[in-house]
Amino acid sequence: MSATPTHLDDIGALARQGALFVINHSGGKDSQCQTIEVLRVVPRAQVLVVHATLGDIEWPGALELARDQAADAGVPFVVAEGRWRDGSRKTLLGMVEAQFARRPEVPSWPSSDARYCTSDLKRNPIAREIRAWARPRGFSIIVSVEGIRAAESAKRARDKPFELMGRQYTNSVWAWYRWLPIHAFSTDEVFASIEAAGQRPHWAYAEGNERLSCLFCVFGSANDWAHAAERAPGIAARYRALERMTGYTAHQNRRPIDEIVAAGRTRLIDRRAVLPIAAE
Ligand code: SF4
């Protein structure tokens, strides 16, 4: 495995200044790999692992994988949850229903133009947890670590692997950085890093998944939707019912769930035949 994390000089300098490195861990292979790589270069006392839970619509075992990897490494782990103003739990399907009730004339589901699932269920809850963790412990420099890779898409290839996101002047000065340690890694290098560390990726990869977060990510592949429908028919039924109720499709490609799942089945079967990871 030849790949190494990006920007190690900058990271070393921030570590010496006492920064807190917050690993955003979805439970997927890229999160797992970046955790391994970060822990090679950052002191454990300056690491926090955060998982933004999506509840029962995320792949079963994703939260547990993140939690267990953090526990095995001896670093703290917190779970971030989206919340409505009254404090009740926010869910993706609940937000779709609310969006439909508020404005039935516009598409109810998240899209690349209205990616409210990421902001409300991941980014904002994680930022809240980071503040709650960092303040009482005296951290004023935060490095948000994300497992984004250039090989995933043209858009992600344009992401900067390391940047200062901003400074906040509140009661104290806060500096926020974003670091993509495995931005240059290939998919093979991600799996190789996990294997070299003596770990196993989430079981869904061995059964054919390409990516992993929501069972039915609105940007996900037909392959992954077919697998999700096979594993979680009850969740698929809830998506189907909500598509019918709103009159809008969940996937941004504007095809209904049953059509996507049917299209993905053949690909899933083909993919399983050539998987590099042997299913147990
Ligand atoms: S996995 Fe997809 S649907 Fe789920 S929160 Fe992320 S972008 Fe939204």
pLDDT tens digits, 177-191: 999 999 999 999 999
Question: What number does the ligand 1 atom closest to the CA of 219 have?
Answer: 2
Nearest-CA residue for ligand 1 atom 3 is: 217
Ligand 1 centre to CA of 219 (Å) is 7
Res 3: pLDDT = 77
3-state SS of 182-230?
CCCCCHHHHHHHHHHCCCCCCHHHHCCCCCCCECCCCCCCHHHHHHHHH
Q: What is the CATH superfamily name and number for domain 8-205?
A: HUPs (3.40.50.620)
Ligand 1 centre to CA of 65 (Å) is 18
Res 275: pLDDT = 79
Work out the pLDDT band at 208, boundaries 50, 70, 90: very high
pLDDT tens digits, 109-118: 999 999 999 9
Res 213: pLDDT = 87
Ligand 1 centre to CA of 61 (Å) is 16
Res 115: pLDDT = 94
Tokens in use for 83?
A: 């919340």
Tokens 């890093």 sit on residue: 193
Distance linking the first and last C-alpha atoms of the chain:
24
Q: Are 106 and 98 in contact (CB under 8 A)?
A: no
C-alpha radius of gyration, the chain, whole number: 19
Work out the pLDDT band at 172, boundaries 50, 70, 90: low
pLDDT tens digits, 26-58: 999 999 999 999 999 999 999 999 999 999 999
Q: Domain ranges in the chain?
A: 8-205, 215-272
Whole-angstrom Cα distance, residue 25 to residue 53? Answer: 10
Closest CA to 141 of 271, 28, 16, 34: 16
